[in-house]
Amino acid sequence: MEEKKKIYPVEPWDITETEFKMEHVYRNETTFALSNGYIGTRGTFEEGYDFSEEEGLEGNFINGFYESEKIRYGEWNYGFPETSQTLLNLPNGKTIKLFLGEEAFDLRQGTLIKSRRVLHMKEGTLEREAEWMSPSGKRVCIHTRRFASFACKNLLAMEYKVTPLNFSGTIRLISVLDGEVENHTRKTNPLVDYGPFGRHLVAEKIGAEGETLYYEGTTKNSGLTMACASAHQLCGEYRVKPGKKGDIVWLEFETEGKVGETVVLYKWIAYTSVLDMEGNSREALSPFIHMVLQKAKAEGFKQLLDEQRVYMEAFWEKADVQIQGDETLQQGIRFNLFHVMQALGRDGRTGMGAKGLSGEGYEGHYFWDTEMYVLPVFAYTDSALAKALLDYRYDTLNEARQRARVLGHEKGALYPWRTINGKEASTYFPLGTAQYHINADIAYALKLYVDVSGDYDYLEKRAAEVLIETARVWADVGCFVPSKGGRYCICAVTGPDEYNAIVDNNFYTNLMARENIKDALWALKVIEKRNPSAEAELIGRLQLTAEEIQYWEKIVEKMYFPYDEERQVYPLDDGFMMRKPWDESKIPEEKRHLLYENYHPLFIYRQRMSKQADAILGLLLHSDLFSKEELKRNYDFYQEVTLHHSSLSTCIFGMLACRIGYREEAYRYFAKSARMDLDDYHDNFYAGIHAANMAGTWQAIVFGFGGVRICEGTLYIEPFLPKEWKGYSFRIIYRGSRLQIAVCEDESKVILENNVPVCFMILGKKVKLNGKGDIWIEKV
């Protein structure tokens, strides 16, 4: 792949925009987006420009807060979702308009002498510096900082500084709370025809109370109520007056500026919704919001900033990946980790959207990306965050049970392909509900969490129930087929590859289904051994019978997998080798990456090609079940037929390439993934981050180059050094033991950084480290 030009200067801890250009505004709003897992805000300018839908998107979101629309179908069938769920764009409280006398600060007017914005990933803040001369010649320096607080999930904090450079006179700062917002659905989700279009939040309370702005509104259809407010502190003498027009309210602060002296305005913005109030109480919203702001104002900007830095320091201490010898990839992996970390739900009630909280893409829905790409990062670095993501799936288990009944399953649970509230929101079932593998993906994540953390209490109280209920669907969706030698077959499903839909015996699905059932059986045995009464209670509550368990065991023994004798590979599904070989030369170049937007689905389904890693992902996740020769044959085959039209693909191929010794190929795939968003490879970063790929780059280093994996309860580490690097290091936490793995040109080492003893296998040797500072070293 031809190396793409770097968009931003290469720096180890910062992302810097060095100039203002209108054509870069939309993209940079995503780059500089901030969130804390509960609230998210795009990196828009404080002035609150009225950009068109093609130029930018003012975006502010609460994780899990959605609007619904009645879904329109040309032809409806039973079981189709009837209402949508869309992450709603909420009132914007960031706006601060600056006036020098009667002249408004506007990047598009006057003379912009300097413009610089910096995302400080190390401390979790966005900083801006601008020097501007008004049309009449007044020069001013503007310096702002903002962050989404990790200490208080409801809070954004802002600091706005203005320094007159060549004049003294009246300065006005107009702080705005804008309730006249709407989603840009036609731009951000162009395939969606049901909306939301226009404003969908109805203001019920809006106004100024002293030096606080307040908004409260309810969605038109989902009936959810949210509130937001902003509090202010201006240093020195000033005058203030409120204003209101429609659903926009503001406070106008007026002060006398003196040449060389800085005027400072602090602004705290808080968001919440009834989803976080006890009993979904609307009456509790205003007291809660005012309490948050009162506390924030009392603590002050500096203390909140110090708390932010402490949180970020702890995060990087656990999760940072250090690369020696390639500054560009170092910057890329940190950018990816930062965005993934800040976007995931932390309260156990919310998940993580495919775009995080950085934009409206995919309607803010949660997919399998969370469990298969994002969760492994935190399973090994911050188990509390991993558990919070799993709690969301447990808490929506009843909705998954209801969905299973709709699909004809008398027992068990079927999780939705895309959702916010736990109900299915996918309107195109061949690429949505048919992806039954979501059940096995969630089961895989639960098993991984327990394996890495050793949290068997969680297995007893939550994980086992999900493992059992998902296994029940697998035991009902297929059957034993005489023409397949009595093997268990699963028909009419779609695997991860969306270019091959409604197929029979998708290899990934069958493999993951079998492992899901095995994990359910494992959970029962572990709980029986550890706490027999807990196992008896679980079996009784779920009415799990001995006949069911025996049937599961038979499925595990008899699961069918498609196999091509000539190539000695596992095809994607039963029909894959019968499809027409793909001839890309017949596809115009401008249409190749957007097949669904340019070709009928049936044309796509009849081609022997794959959009993304599918069977390869299954082979990677369970590589210990296959010989190295098998893995190589399948890897080589799928190299021929995979188009990598999904951002979820290249990191998976790279990791399997590591496993089979294709090291140079693995590095090329990693390089494609590491800066995919930062350098906007696909020209679509404006719509939001690609969270799965971002997390996949961490996996590529830790699971790929570092060779970290768990097999039958044992930690394995098989590191190697890419020839392009001088060294790399990372940390993982395994069963409470904190390990640093460092690889350089002359040695590899593992250091135990706490006093929790650990055993592991490394490069074929069994190693035990007993106490803090114990080290294993192997010279090269």
Give strand pairing partners of 550. none
Q: Which token pair is 235?
A: 């240093």
Q: What angle do CA 440, 441, 442 make, to 5 degrees?
A: 90
CA within 13 Å, CB half, 554: 15
Q: Which token pair is 535?
A: 């196992």
Q: What is the torsion angle, in degrees rounded to the nearest 10, for the CA atoms of residue 220, residue 365, residue 176 and residue 98? A: -150
Q: Which token pair is 147?
A: 């962050």
CA quadruple 360, 362, 368, 374: dihedral sign: negative
Q: Are 348 and 395 in contact (CB under 8 A)?
A: yes
Residue owning tokens 């298969």? 372
Residue owning tokens 């109030």? 277
For residue 399, give the amino acid letter. Answer: E
281 to each of 274, 284, 517, how far by Cα in Å? 6, 6, 41
165 to each of 45, 133, 173, 255, how far by Cα in Å? 22, 10, 17, 16
Q: Are 186 and 33 in contact (CB under 8 A)?
A: no
For residue 318, give the 3-state DSSP assignment.
Answer: helix
* Residue 724, number of CB atoms within 10 A of its CB: 13
Q: Which token pair is 689?
A: 């981050």
CA 248 – CA 371 distance, rounded (Å):
40
Q: Work out the burial of residue 105: count CB atoms within 10 Å of its CB; fewer than 13 is exposed, 13-18 middle, 19 or more buried.
A: buried
Q: What angle do CA 326, 329, 333 make, to 5 degrees?
A: 140
Query: How does 317-329 read in b/e, with b if 16+ C-beta sit within 10 Å?
Result: eebbbebbbbeeb
* Element spanning 681, H or E: none
* Furthest C-alpha separation in the chain: 90
Q: Are 567 and 633 in contact (CB under 8 A)?
A: yes
CA 426 – CA 449 distance, rounded (Å):
27
Q: Are 677 and 359 in contact (CB under 8 A)?
A: no
Inter-axis angle of helices 663-674 and 327-343, nearest 10? 60
Q: Is 498 a catalytic residue?
A: yes
Q: Which token pair is 263?
A: 């005027």
* Residue 48, number of CB atoms within 10 A of its CB: 17
CA 621 – CA 443 distance, rounded (Å):
13
| Helices within 383-463 (DSSP H only) | 383-395, 397-406, 437-453, 456-458
Please identify which of the residues 498, 515, 535, 548 carries the catalytic annotation.
Answer: 498
What amino acid positions are annotated as catalytic residues?
498
